[in-house]
Each structure stands twice: as structure tokens, then as C-alpha cells.
């Protein structure tokens, strides 16, 4: 169960909350919209988050399956160069771009991620089994068709992330949720690059086993779509109720926004560079004498460090909402990393250089990714997240595909050195910093500001996530001013408790409602206390002015039911 306490002050109940207008983005009173007085976050949202994350893992795994075993795959199919194998990754990216408009349409029409995830699961399963048959029978065109199916599936998983977090999560957790699902995509690529060399080694016959394992995992993960929730029965926060613009209106607004165009250029360059580097790690290191295992470990470090840094940074961004600060810090570091990659690999086969530079590059890249994806939604709301995020990913994947083609043609020397290609990547990385100049004055976070305004105006706090299985005990501590509460003295004793606690209920001098701070009971410190018998209040209110004193049933304080109401729902 989750509980919400609401002050009975009339001036708060009637205060309008502003939400964007559907067509022109102007603010209108919530009195003109359907009135929502209660918001909940549901634990079942984590089922959807896990499903999204795993689908992104398996899609990216399929995309980069051959990146670290390109040499072995070339030998298996009898090719004279690795160019056909490189096209496996490139084709996947082009298929992603081709299917992306269907993702935005599906999400906008269905108002749920379930149809999109069902399509994703079906396509990725079919694609992986086609790849297995293609390697088993050594039919390269069939392998290529399987890759195309995986490319068609990928946008349904990756493009649904922002839409899902906007619908199911609050402003205090969206960045973290977005980062978990978004970084699952490159994480899957890292797993594919690490597992591939470990399973295959020098035995070409093991490639089909690698494809079989991947196909089985894809089939199992796709079944999770059957238990994935669609739309929450109660919105998690006011910003989740913002009416979204139509696809046509959203496109018109985005193409006219200098800020969005600047973000698009930055996102396109850095995602494109990351995709190209991830694809070519093995071929970048091979001319210097590094093995496929070395390349696989380098790819794993690239992603692993990113996961760690993202896990640390995302909750901090959720708490502080300092999106611009994060962007300004990581961009120069990222550009420096691409310069350092030119010199990281040496003929002495030392591993400190490629491991260190790839680790730092992964860390800053994964920190920037969710920050940009969430921040762009804050800046472009009420544009539908199904479109704003999809366009960004399209740009990144398109540039990545183009770079894969161009960089392959830039190989030089008898050993196919990619040093010239790395110089081009370093130049692009530094060019990518230039659009950040247009972001300097963007400080408004529309969804966050709306949630904050609503919370302050209505004095409403959601205490705990709603649960389908069990409820959690809740305690309300009355302030020391109410220790001797009585009808006559309450008028002069009422004061605000927010100076020492974040979660409070503040009343005015004209009401008799009690001022309380809200905390979750520590069951070890505070044993369960009987709830008040008042039918209008099913919350336990305990005097804990003296923290050393263990509360008991004698210390239960009964609030005047006419001045303080409590509501709760169970789903």
C-alpha cells in the first residue's frame, strides 16, 4: 500500500496546477483537465524495466556478435577480406533506421509499450534462429537476413525506453531508469564481444554453438513480454499527465528548435563514434599484434566501466537535476579519449593503454547518454518521447553505419592499419563539442518543475511505492509544538516543520490540522503500534519527540478527523 496525506485547507484544494496545452504548448489550468488528486508508483514497473533492458541486451548482443570474431567468421565463410563481415553490423544499423518510424507510430497509437515489445521479441527471436541456421549450413545470405531481423527489432526496444520511463517513473528516478534500460544496449554488445571469443577461440565449428546459445537466450527473454505491464492505472506524478503533441506537431516543433538541433548533432556524433569504435575494436588492435581475446576484453572494459560510472552518476543526476553540468564535464573528457586512442595501441602489445583509455571513454559515454536522453525530454515536453528520443537514436545509428563503411576504406598498409581512421574519429569528437554552446542558457526542466510546483501547491507526498503483495508500516511523528496539543493552544503552536524534514504537511493558522513529519517505521527501532480507531484516519501517529523513548500504544496521538484526511489505495 501507499499512503498520501492531504491538508484540508480550501485554498490549497482550489489552487490550479498548470499543464501544457495539447496543440500550442501553452499552459492551462488543471481545472480544465481531468482532475487527479492522487499519484502512485507501482513496483510492477520494474518488470517492464527488466524486460526492456534484457531485450536491449539481446538485440545489441546480436548486432555485435561478430565484431570480436571477425577474423574467424571470415575464415568460416571463405572470404578473402573482412568487409562482408563488417556489413553484418552495418546492415543492422540501416535496418534500425528503416524501422524506426514504425516505432514512434506504434507507441503513439497504442499508448503502451507492450505492442512494441511484442514486435521486438518476435523479430529478434526469428533473426537469431535464422543466424544459427546460416552458420550451421554456412549460408552467408541467410546469416545476413537474420542480422536484418535483429536490426528491425532493435528500435522497438531502444525507442521505448523514454516513453516507458515517462509513463511509469517520477522525476526523481527517470534518469536512473532510463540509464538502466539504455546502457543495456551497449552492455549487450560488450557481452557478445566477450562471450564470442571465449566460446569460439580458434575452433571455427564453435561459431554455430555461439549462435545457438544466443538464439535460445533471445527466445527466453522474449517470453517476458507476456508479463510486462502496459499503462499504469494511476499516474506516478503530475508530469506523466502532460498531454503529448501529435507526431506531426512534434516534428514541427523539434525542427524549429535550435536547442534540439544542437543536441541532435552532439548525440549523433558521439553515438556514431561509439558504435564505430565498438565494431572495429578487433580490427583496430589486430595490426599491432593483439589477439581477439585482448580485443574482447577491451570491449568488455569499455562497457563495464560505463555501467559502473552510470550507476554512480544517474542517481546523483536524479537528485540534483544538474544535466548541463554533467554535459559540460564529460564532453571534453570524451574528446580527449578519442585523441588518446590514436596512441593507445602499440607494437609492444602493452594492455595498459587500450584498457585505460577504453575504460575512461566508456565511463564518460555512459554518463552522458542517459543525461542527454532525459534532458532533451525536459526541454522539448510536451513533444512525445516516442519521437524525440527515436530521432536521436536514428542520427547516431545512421552516422555509425556511415562511419563503419568509411573507416573500412581508410585501412592502410600491408597490415590494414586503422590509424588514419582513428585520427578522423578524434576530429569528429572535437567537432561534436561545438554545439554545446547553444545549450548554455537552457536551464528550465519542464517536467521536473511541474512536479515540484504541484508538490508545493498541494502539499501532497507519496510515501512509499504501492505493492501488490504487502503493505509497509508507516509512522507520523508530530512536532514538538504539538506535544501538548489542545483545542485552545493549537492556534499559537502551529508552525512549519519543513526546516528539519523534507517530507512534511504544513497547515495554516486558520486550520486545526496538525503539522506532522512523515517517516517510514524502522521496525527494529519502533515496534508495530496500533492504528487509530478513527474511520477517517488509518495511519499510526506517534509522539517521538524523545527519540530515545520507544513509542508504545499509550503514545498514540489521534488527529482530528475533520481537519486531516488520509487516503490510500491498493492494487
User: How distant is the alpha carbon of residue 246 from its chain centre?
Assistant: 23
The answer to whether the CB of 294 falls within 8 A of the CB of 351 is: yes
- E strand map for 424-530: 461-462, 474-478, 504-505, 516-520
Q: What are phi and psi of 556, to 5 degrees?
A: -65, 130
Q: For 527-568, how does the pLDDT look when each residue is reduced to its tens digit (9 = 90+)?
A: 433 333 333 333 444 444 444 444 444 333 333 333 333 333
Q: What gap in Å lies between CA 152 and CA 345, rounded to an integer?
A: 35
Q: What is the mean pLDDT of residues 169-179?
A: 83
The answer to whether the CB of 388 falls within 8 A of the CB of 254 is: yes
C-alpha cell, 287: 595490426
Query: Is the model more confident about 23 or about 211?
Result: 211
Question: Exposure pattern of 28-39 as b/e (b: 16+ CB <10 Å)?
Answer: eebeebeeeeeb
The answer to whether the CB of 396 falls within 8 A of the CB of 268 is: yes
* Angstrom distances, CA of residue 7 to CA of 65, 227, 382, 516: 57, 38, 30, 11
Q: Which pTM was predicted?
A: 0.65
* 4 pLDDT higher than 70: no
Q: What gap in Å lies between CA 497 and CA 74, rounded to an integer?
A: 69
The answer to whether the CB of 74 falls within 8 A of the CB of 85 is: yes
Could you tell me the pLDDT band of residue 449, with boundaries at 50, 70 and 90? low
User: How distant is the alpha carbon of residue 362 from its chain centre?
Assistant: 16
C-alpha cell, 267: 548525440
Q: What is the pLDDT of residue 231?
A: 82
Range of 243-257, 324-338, 437-451 with top mean pLDDT: 324-338
Of the candidates 366, 187, 56, 90, the residue with the CA atom closest to the CA atom of residue 195: 187
Q: What is the mean pLDDT of residues 102-113?
A: 85
> How many other C-beta atoms are found inside a 10 Å radius of the C-beta of residue 137?
11
C-alpha cell, 58: 539481446
Q: What is the mean pLDDT of residues 207-227?
A: 93
Q: What is the pLDDT of residue 452?
A: 65
Q: What gap in Å lies between CA 255 and CA 252, rounded to an integer?
A: 6
Amino acid at each position: 500500500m501507499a499512503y498520501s496525506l492531504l491538508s484540508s485547507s480550501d485554498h490549497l484544494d482550489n489552487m490550479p496546477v498548470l499543464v501544457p496545452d495539447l496543440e500550442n504548448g501553452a499552459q492551462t489550468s488543471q481545472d480544465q483537465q481531468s482532475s487527479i488528486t492522487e499519484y502512485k508508483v507501482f513496483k510492477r514497473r520494474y518488470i517492464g524495466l527488466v524486460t526492456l533492458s534484457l531485450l536491449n541486451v539481446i538485440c545489441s548482443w546480436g548486432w555485435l556478435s561478430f565484431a570480436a570474431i571477425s577474423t574467424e567468421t571470415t575464415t568460416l565463410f571463405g572470404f578473402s577480406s573482412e568487409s562482408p563481415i563488417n556489413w553484418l553490423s552495418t546492415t543492422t544499423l540501416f535496418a534500425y533506421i528503416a524501422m524506426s518510424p514504425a516505432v514512434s507510430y506504434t507507441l503513439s497509437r497504442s499508448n503502451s509499450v507492450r505492442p512494441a515489445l511484442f514486435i521486438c521479441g518476435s523479430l529478434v527471436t526469428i533473426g537469431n534462429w535464422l543466424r544459427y541456421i546460416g552458420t550451421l549450413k554456412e549460408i552467408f545470405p541467410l546469416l545476413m537476413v537474420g542480422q536484418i531481423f535483429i536490426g528491425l527489432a532493435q528500435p522497438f526496444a531502444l525507442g521505448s525506453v523514454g516513453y516507458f520511463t515517462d509513463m511509469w517513473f517520477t522525476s526523481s528516478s527517470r534518469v536512473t531508469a532510463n540509464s538502466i534500460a539504455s546502457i543495456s544496449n551497449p552492455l549487450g554488445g560488450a557481452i557478445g564481444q566477450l562471450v564470442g571469443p571465449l566460446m569460439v577461440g580458434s575452433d571455427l565449428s564453435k561459431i554455430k554453438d555461439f549462435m545457438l546459445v544466443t538464439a535460445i537466450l533471445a527466445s527466453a527473454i522474449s517470453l517476458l513480454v507476456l508479463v510486462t505491464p502496459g499503462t499504469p492505472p494511476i499516474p506516478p506524478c503530475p508530469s506523466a499527465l502532460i498531454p503529448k503533441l501529435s507526431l506531426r506537431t512534434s516534428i514541427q516543433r523539434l525542427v524549429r528548435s535550435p536547442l534540439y538541433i544542437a543536441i541532435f548533432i552532439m548525440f549523433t556524433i558521439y553515438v556514431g563514434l561509439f558504435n564505430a569504435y565498438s565494431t572495429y575494436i578487433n580490427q583496430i588492435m589486430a595490426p599491432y599484434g593483439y589477439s581477439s581475446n585482448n580485443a574482447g576484453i577491451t570491449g568488455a572494459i569499455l562497457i563495464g566501466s560505463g555501467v559502473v560510472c552510470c550507476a554512480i552518476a544517474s542517481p546523483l543526476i536524479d537528485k540534483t537535476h544538474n544535466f548541463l553540468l554533467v554535459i559540460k564535464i564529460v564532453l571534453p573528457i570524451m574528446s580527449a579519449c578519442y585523441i588518446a586512442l590514436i596512441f593507445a595501441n602499440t607494437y609492444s602489445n602493452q594492455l595498459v593503454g587500450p584498457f585505460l583509455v577504453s575504460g575512461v571513454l566508456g565511463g564518460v559515454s555512459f554518463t552522458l547518454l542517459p543525461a542527454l536522453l532525459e534532458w532533451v525530454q525536459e526541454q522539448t515536453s510536451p513533444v512525445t518521447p516516442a519521437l524525440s528520443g527515436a530521432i536521436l537514436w536514428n542520427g547516431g545509428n545512421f552516422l555509425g553505419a556511415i562511419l563503419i563503411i568509411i573507416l573500412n576504406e581508410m585501412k592502410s598498409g600491408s597490415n590494414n592499419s586503422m590509424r588514419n581512421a582513428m585520427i578522423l574519429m578524434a576530429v569528429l569528437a572535437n567537432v561534436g563539442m561545438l554545439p554545446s554552446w547553444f545549450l548554455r542558457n537552457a536551464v528550465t526542466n519542464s517536467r521536473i518543475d511541474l512536479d515540484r510546483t504541484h508538490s508545493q501547491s498541494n502539499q501532497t507526498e507519496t510515501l512509499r511505492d504501492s505493492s501488490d503483495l504487502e503493505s509497509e508500516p508507516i509512522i507520523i511523528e508530530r512536532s514538538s509544538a504539538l506535544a501538548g496539543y489542545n483545542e485552545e493552544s493549537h492556534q499559537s503552536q502551529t508552525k512549519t516543520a519543513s526546516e528539519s524534514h523534507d517530507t512534511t504537511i504544513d497547515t495554516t493558522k486558520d486550520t486545526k490540522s496538525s503539522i506532522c513529519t512523515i517517516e517510514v517505521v524502522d521496525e527494529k527501532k519502533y515496534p508495530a503500534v496500533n492504528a487509530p480507531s478513527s474511520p477517517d484516519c488509518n495511519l499510526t501517529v506517534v509522539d517521538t519527540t524523545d527519540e530515545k523513548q520507544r513509542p508504545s500504544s499509550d503514545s498514540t496521538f489521534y488527529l482530528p478527523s475533520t481537519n486531516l484526511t488520509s487516503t490510500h489505495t491498493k492494487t
